[in-house]
Amino acid sequence: MSDSPARCSRKQVGINALVFAVLACAPISAQAQWSVGGSLGVPDADIDVAVYDPPNTTADDSSPISWKLFVGYGFSANLGLEAGYVALGSEYQLFNALGYGESVTFEPSAGFITVLGRVNVHDRVQLLARLGAAYWTTDVDYAEGAFRSSGSDGDVDPLLGFGFEFTPDGRFTIRFEWEQFQNVGDDASVARPAAASSRIELGGHDISVIGLGVNVRF
């Protein structure tokens, strides 16, 4: 299946971000330093499930806690890179017009690399913004009565975010951030029972995460 123009443009944003990240490696200064960190967050995915038979299917979202681990490298106080892994699990219960209960478990995760920029607003507070790319993967499991099926998918799509940091001292930082992983789950699908002659297709979804994290510089 060929990519749509919208999806292609999103991929191009991710590719451009990676190119910029490579070019940004040049201006390494005396302030360069490594960091490691992690965060916990609440994901929110606006799921639009495409089901050809039966019609009028809706999805109720129950969003568990997501978590992220990352390593960073700062070229200066205001510019750096971060790469890591994030788990973005969510479960959805489907209900159709005929009253049958169908459960679908959608469990995405992603490896990512981003350019991270900071602007000082106080001697201990910085605004931050990130742009990059995430390689997401997802497993999809379907159950209705004794019937079970599963599917999986993966691709590279843009990642963006913004937030702020509070630094009590020169090493320890507390971070509050909103991030969006775009087009997750595109082309992932699972089979429904043979009698229904259909598949459940997740399509691409933007998953947003509001998280609180810490990182340590060294």
Q: Are strands 33-45 and 205-217 parallel, antiparallel or unpaired?
A: antiparallel
Q: Are 173 and 165 in contact (CB under 8 A)?
A: yes
Partner residues linked to 62 by β-bridges: 91
**What domains does the chain contain, in order, with CATH numbers?**
5-217 (2.40.160.20)
Which pLDDT score is estimated for 24?
46
Output the pLDDT for position 201.
76
| pTM assigned to the model | 0.76
3-state SS record for 93-149: EEECCCCCEEEEEEEEEEEEEEEEEEEECCCCEEEEEEEEEEEEEEEEEEEECCEEE
3-class SS at 79? strand
Cα distance between residue 182 and residue 90, in whole Å: 15
Tell me which residues of the chain have a pLDDT lower than 50: 1-2, 6, 17, 19, 21-30, 52-56, 97
- Residue 62 is predicted with a pLDDT of 58
